[in-house]
Amino acid sequence: MKKNKPQRGFSLIEILIAIVIITIGLVALSGALVVGVTLPQKSRQQAIAKQIANNIMETIIAAKESAKTGFDTFATFNSTMPLVAGRFTGGVQNLLTPGPDGVYGTCDDGTTGVYNPVCGSLGTQLVMVDVDPGPDGKYQAPFNVDNTKLPLLNFTRQVEITDINNATKQIDVTVNYPNPLGGRDKVVLSTQITNFRLLSGS
């Protein structure tokens, strides 16, 4: 008759050691969990950045379509060359409000007041996103004082306009935003505009 093996279990100490080892392993795995946690946060930031980039591009195209400023103004402003009528600042700027002209990326961004065709200096007003209408549930003035607003503090935008030829310009909009995982990411939109318009009636 075969002899039974001794029926020894683990000792308590062995179990405890095993638990600690398992825990160490799980803690190591939690790094992956952190990524899973922050990825949605990143996509949220990315969604805001995309909307902003779209909005920037829309204002530029709308300004061209409506011809409220001349085609020549779709160029980078150059203070040393007064003959250059461009209104766009170029370069990386904070995400400022479009200013009185309603166009992002121009030299009156971040300012308030009356439209001035002559370029001054940039203001400081950042784009704010309405997060919540506040306790009154109303967004618009005069009920907007209690709105929860999220200023896009660490976002930047860059609007670059390059001439392709006399009638065509390339527009590149870049919105740069902080990645919760560290570092920064960007959304880039590009398009071209031409000076084609239907003639005005007379």
Partner 1 sequence: MANKKNFYFKKNDSGFTLIELLLSAVLLLILIGPLLAFLRAGQINRSVTVKTTDLEQNARAAMITMGRDITNAGFNFAPQFSLGSVTLVNALQGGNNILTPVIPGNNLNPVNTSNSSGSVVTNSTDQITLVYVDQTFNNGLPVTGNYNLVGPGAQFTLTSGMLTGLFPGDLIFLNRGTVFSIATVTSIAGNVITINTGDFSGLNKFGAMDPLSSLALPIAGLPVQPPILLYKFFFITFFVDQDGNLIRRELLAPPHTTIGGPNNVADARTYNCAATCYYDNIIATGIEDLQFTYSVNGAQPAVTPIDDPGAGGAATNLGAAPLYRLNDIREVNVSLKVRAADRDTVVRDKNSPGAKNGYYYRFSLDGTFGVRNLYQTNYVPDLN
Stretch that binds partner 1, among 75-83, 111-119, 157-165, 188-196 (CB under 8 A): 111-119
SS3 state at 7: coil
Count of CA atoms in the C-beta half-sphere (13 A) of 123: 16
CB of 131 to partner 1, least distance (A): 7
Q: Which of 1, 81, 83, 114 binds partner 1 (CB under 8 A)?
A: 114
Which two tokens mark 111?
């300012």
- Give CA–CA dist 148/129, Å, rounded: 9
- Give CA–CA dist 179/50, Å, rounded: 14
Q: Which of 80, 118, 135, 142 binds partner 1 (CB under 8 A)?
A: 135
Q: Is 63 in the site for partner 1 (CB under 8 A)?
A: yes
Which two tokens mark 100?
């009185």
Q: Is 164 in the site for partner 1 (CB under 8 A)?
A: no
CB of 15 to partner 1, least distance (A): 5
Q: Is 192 in the site for partner 1 (CB under 8 A)?
A: no
Pairing assessment for the beta strands 156-165 and 184-194 based on DSSP bridges: unpaired
- Give CA–CA dist 125/106, Å, rounded: 14
Contacting positions for partner 1 (CB under 8 A): 6-9, 11-13, 15-16, 19-20, 23, 26-27, 30, 33-34, 36-41, 43-44, 47, 51, 54-55, 58-59, 61-69, 100-102, 114-115, 117, 129-140, 197-202
